[in-house]
Structure 1
Amino acid sequence: MQSLIFFIIALSLLVVIHEFGHYWVARRCGVKVLRFSVGFGQKLWSKQLKNGTEFVIAALPLGGYVKMLDEREAPVAENELEQTFNRQPLRNRVAIVSAGPIANLLFAVFAYWMIMVIGVPGMKPIIAEVTANSPAAAAQLYAGEEIIAVNGKATPTVNSLFQQWLRLAQSGETITLTTRSADVETNKQLTLPKLGLDDAGSLFNQIGITTVQPEMPPVLDNIVADSPAEKAGLQAGDELISADGKTLSSWQAWVSLIQSNADTAMNIEILRNGEIQQLVITPAADENGVGRIGAAVNTDAYEIPAELRSELRYGPLAAIPQAFTQTWQFSVTTLSGLWGMLVGTVSSDNLGGPIAIAQFAGDSAQQGLIAFISFLAMISISLGILNLLPVPVLDGGHLLMYFFEWIRGKPLPESVQIQGQKIGLFLILLLMVFAFTNDIVRLIG
C-alpha cells in the first residue's frame, strides 16, 4: 500500500509538471486551454479558473492531459478562432508540444540541484582489496588508498565514484585517478574496461577493487515473494546465525557464502523473537550461476562508523552546473539503454512497468527525502525522453510531423496523420504490455 501511495504521488507530480509545461507555453502563445486534467476518467474535483480553463482531478491517476481549443475536435466560435491550437504558426505549435518534455527535464535539473545543495551522505571510497592482474592492479592501486577524484572531479563517496566510473566505462577510456594515503595525494592512470549498462552491477569487480565496508549485522528486511528465502520460511526481522554449523557474524559473510553455493542445500540457524530456529535453504542460481536467495538486509540495523562517513555537497551556485551535468549524463544513459534494447546489446529485462516504478517509489521513500527526490528526477528524465521519441501519439511524434510540415511547406495529409497515430498507439500499447509482463515475471521470481 505504501508503494502504491508514493507511486501515485510521484506520477501525479510529474504529470502536473509535464502538462503545466504545455499549458504555460500555450497560454503565452495565446491558445485557449479548455481543461487541465490530472488523471483520467470520472471527475473527483474541478475548478473553473478565471482564464476559462477547467482544472480537474480525475479518478485514474495514471497520466493527465491539457485540452486546447481546436477546430479539428469541435466547432469554434468566430471570435475565438485566433485562440485555437490548429491555427497557430508552426513555431508556436512546436514550442507548445516541446514544452512538456522540457518541463520534465528542467524539473530534473532542479531536483538534482536540491540534492547537491542538501548533500548526499555516503561512505568514503577507500580501497579494501585489489584483484591481481586487474586494471586496478595495473594502475598500481593498493589497499588503504582513498580515491578522491576522477579526472579532476571530486569523488567523496563510493556512489559518486561508481557514477563517474560507470559513465566513463561505456567508452572504455584511460582516466586519471587522484588517490590519498597518509595525507599524500598521487595521480594514477587507470584504463577502464569497456562495459555496457548490463555490466553496472559488476563494475567494481571488472575494475578489480572492493571498497571498505563496515560489517553489517545479518538481520533481514524485505523477502521477495516465491524466492528461496520465502520457501525456506525466512521472515523480515530474522537474524542469520550460522550455516552448516559455521557461525557467520556479518551480512557480507552471508552474501559470499550464498553466492558461492548456488543450488546447494544449507542447514541454517536463525534468531527469531529471541528463539533459535533451524531451517534449510537452497540458493537459486542466477543467469551467471551466482547463488541468490531473494532477501535484503535491514540497513537500519547498523550505523556507518564516523571515520568512513562522507558527503557529496555543493554550494548553491556550484550546484547549478553539476545539476545540469547530472541531468545530461542520466539522459544519455537512458538513451543508450533504449538504443541498446533496440539493437540487442542491452537486455530488455531492464524495462520496468508501473509495478516496478511503484516498488522503486516505495523503496526510495523509505530511504529518505534525498533518495525519493533522486527517484523523481530519474523518472522525470525518463518521462521527458520517452515523450520526445519520434513515435506518433507522443510529443516527439507530433514534432516529427511538424518537421515534415516544415519541409513540405504544408501539413501532412490528415489520412497519413491518422494512420501514424494508429501505429503509434499500437507501439505504445505493445511497450506497455511488454513492460507489465516484465513486472509480473519479476514478482513471480
Structure 2
Amino acid sequence: MGEFIGSVWWMIVSLGVLVTFHEFGHYWVARRCGVKVLRFSVGFGKPLWMRRNRAGTEFAIAAIPLGGYVKMLDEREVEVHPAERGQAFNHKSVWQRIAIVAAGPLANLVLCVALLWAMFVIGKQDYSATIGRATGMALTAGLQTGDRVLGVDDRDVVTAGQASMALTTAAMDRRDATLTVLDAQQQVRTRTLPLSQLPAGFDERWVPALAGLTWQFRMQPALVERIEPGHPAEGVLMPGDLLLAVDGVRIDSAEQVPAQVRALGERGGPGMIEVQRGADRMALEITPQQGKDARGQPTWQIGVGFPQSSAPVYDTTLQYGPLAALPAALRETARATSDSLGMMRRMITGAASLQNVSGPVTIARVANVSAQRGLDWFLWFLAVMSLSLCIINLLPIPILDGGHLLYYLIELVKGSPLSERAMAAGQYIGLALLAGLMGLAFYNDILGLASR
C-alpha cells in the first residue's frame, strides 16, 4: 500500500510540474502574440482553486490531475465581441499560430535542459560501466572482470546505464558493437562484441546479460551471513567468511555459488572451498549433500546463507560546475532525443518490440523509485519525462500539438486553411491512434504487473 500511495503521489507531482511548464509555454507565447487567454488550467474537471488576473485570464487547479489546458479566445469555440476579434487565436497569422502551438513542446525541451543542468550541478550518483563478470560471448570477445567500458562504437559512456543503452541499440540493429575498455593494467583496448549473433526474438531488456556481461554493481559479494545446522558447512565455514573459489572456480558474486556447489556435488567426493577469513586466506575441504530448495526441488547444498539483496553502492558521480553543466545538459538532451527517436523508428519498422511502450502504471512506479533514490535521480526522471512529452506532442497526430502544426504547414503550402470537414476527420483519426497507443501502453503495464 505504501508503494501504491507513493507511486500515485509522485506521479501527480511529476505531471503537475511537466504540464504546468507545457501549458505555460502556450500561454506565454499567446500573450506575446496578442491572443486573449480565457483560462490556464492545471488538471481537468471541476476547479478546486481559481484566480483571475487583470487581463481576464482564469488560473485554475482542477480536480483531475492528469493533464491541463490553455483556453484561448477563438471564434470557432465561443462568440467573440467585435472589439476583441483582433485578440482571437483564429485571427492571428499562420506563423503566430505555429509559434503558439510549438511553444508548449519547446517549453518541455527547455525544462529538460534546465533539469539536467540542475542534476549535474548537484551531482548524479550512478554506477560505473565496470564489468563484474564476463562469460560466453563477452569472454570470447576478450572482455575481462574489472574492465571499464569507456565507449561503445562512436559513443562515449560513463555509466552502466549508458553502456547498456548503446549495446541494446546495436543489438536491435543486428550489428556487432565495438567496445573501448580500460583494463586492469590501465591499458586502453578495443574489443568487438558480436551482438549480431544473438538469437532472433531476444529480450531487449537483457542485452548485456545475453551477451555474457554482468556489471560490477549488480554483483553481491559471497559473504557468509549464516551457517545452517546439520549441513556440511557447519564446523568448516564461519559467518563473515568471504568465498573466493569453489573447487578451483573463482567466485565473484553470491549468485555463482549455487551453480558451483551443484557442479561439485554432481562430480562427487569432497572439494576445496577457498575463503578470506579476516586477514587470512585458506582452503577448506567440504562435501555437498543433497537437499531441497525453497520450491521443494532436489538440489546440492552446503548450508550457507548470504545477506538479502540490498541497493548497490554508487561508485561514480556525474557532476560539473555551473558553467560546465550547461553543455553537459545539452549533450545529454541530444543523446536522449536520439535514443528516443531511434527507439520509435525501430518500433515502427519492427526492429524493436512494442513492449517498450510504457503506460501510466510503469511511469508512476519509476517516479516513486526515482524519488526514493534522491533529488538527483528524481530530476533525471523529470527531465526524461519532459523530453518524452515534447517528442510525443510534436508527432504529426491530429489533436496533438504536432497535428495542429501539420495543419498549419498545409495551410502555408496551399495558401488557405483546411476545411472544417478535413480537420474533423483528422480529429477522429487522431483519437483512434491515441486510443490504440493508450491501449497498448495499458496492456504492457498489465503484463509488467503480472510478471512481478
Residue in structure 2 matched with residue 289 of structure 1 by the alignment: none
Alpha carbons of 1:79 and 1:298: their partners in 2 closer, same or farther (altered >3 Å)? farther
Bigger Rg, which one: 2
State the shift of 1:148 in Å: 4.3
Would the aligned equivalents of 2:132 and 2:219 in 1 still touch at CA under 8 Å? no
Residue in structure 2 matched with residue 324 of structure 1 by the alignment: 330
Residue in structure 1 matching 2:385, options 379, 384, 403 = 379
SS state of the match for residue 216, structure 1? coil
User: How far, CA to CA, are the matches of 2:104 and 2:330 in structure 1?
Assistant: 18
Query: Counterpart amino acid of 2:332?
Result: Q
Query: Counterpart amino acid of 1:50?
Result: R
Q: Are residue 281 (structure 1) and residue 295 (structure 2) matched? A: yes
- Structure 2 stretches lacking a partner, 5+ long: 234-238, 244-251, 263-291, 298-307
Alpha carbons of 1:303 and 1:342: their partners in 2 closer, same or farther (altered >3 Å)? closer
Q: Are residue 177 (structure 1) and residue 180 (structure 2) matched? A: yes
SS state of the match for residue 317, structure 1? helix
Query: Counterpart amino acid of 1:61?
Result: P
1:156-305 matches, within 5 Å, as: 156-166=158-168, 172=175, 175=178, 177-182=180-185, 184-188=186-190, 190=192, 193=195, 200-205=204-209, 207-213=211-217, 216=220, 253-254=254-255, 280-281=294-295, 299-300=310-311, 303=313
User: How far, CA to CA, are the matches of 1:328 and 1:206 in structure 2?
Assistant: 28
Would the aligned equivalents of 1:177 and 1:187 in 2 still touch at CA under 8 Å? yes
Would the aligned equivalents of 1:147 and 1:179 in 2 still touch at CA under 8 Å? yes
Report the identity percentage. 40
The TM-score normalised by the length of structure 1 is 0.75
User: How far, CA to CA, are the matches of 2:253 and 2:344 in structure 1?
Assistant: 34
Residue in structure 1 matching 2:398, options 392, 402, 412 = 392
Query: Counterpart amino acid of 2:149?
Result: I
Would the aligned equivalents of 1:35 and 1:67 in 2 still touch at CA under 8 Å? yes
Would the aligned equivalents of 1:8 and 1:61 in 2 still touch at CA under 8 Å? yes
State the shift of 1:23 in Å: 0.6
Query: Counterpart amino acid of 1:347?
Result: S
Would the aligned equivalents of 1:101 and 1:387 in 2 still touch at CA under 8 Å? yes
User: How far, CA to CA, are the matches of 1:444 and 1:257 in structure 2?
Assistant: 27
User: How far, CA to CA, are the matches of 1:123 and 1:37 in structure 2?
Assistant: 40
Query: Counterpart amino acid of 1:185?
Result: Q
State the shift of 1:190 in Å: 3.5
Query: Counterpart amino acid of 1:426?
Result: A
1:397-408 matches, within 5 Å, as: 397-408=403-414
Query: Counterpart amino acid of 1:181?
Result: A
SS state of the match for residue 147, structure 1? strand
State the shift of 1:128 in Å: 3.5
- Structure 1 stretches lacking a partner, 5+ long: 219-238, 262-277, 284-296
Residue in structure 1 matching 2:105, options 91, 97, 101 = 101
Residue in structure 2 matched with residue 30 of structure 1 by the alignment: 34
Alpha carbons of 1:28 and 1:165: their partners in 2 closer, same or farther (altered >3 Å)? same
Residue in structure 1 matched with residue 60 of structure 2 by the alignment: 56
Alpha carbons of 1:53 and 1:117: their partners in 2 closer, same or farther (altered >3 Å)? same
Residue in structure 2 matching 1:364, options 370, 374, 388 = 370
Q: Are residue 71 (structure 1) and residue 75 (structure 2) matched? A: yes
Residue in structure 2 matching 1:433, options 434, 439, 448 = 439
Alpha carbons of 1:371 and 1:200: their partners in 2 closer, same or farther (altered >3 Å)? farther
User: How far, CA to CA, are the matches of 1:438 and 1:241 in structure 2?
Assistant: 42
Deviation readout 1:319-352 (Å, 9 max, x if unpaired): 2222222222222222233333333332222222
State the shift of 1:215 in Å: 5.1
Deviation readout 1:343-383 (Å, 9 max, x if unpaired): 33322222222222111111211122122111111111111
Deviation readout 1:60-94 (Å, 9 max, x if unpaired): 00010000011111111122111110011111100
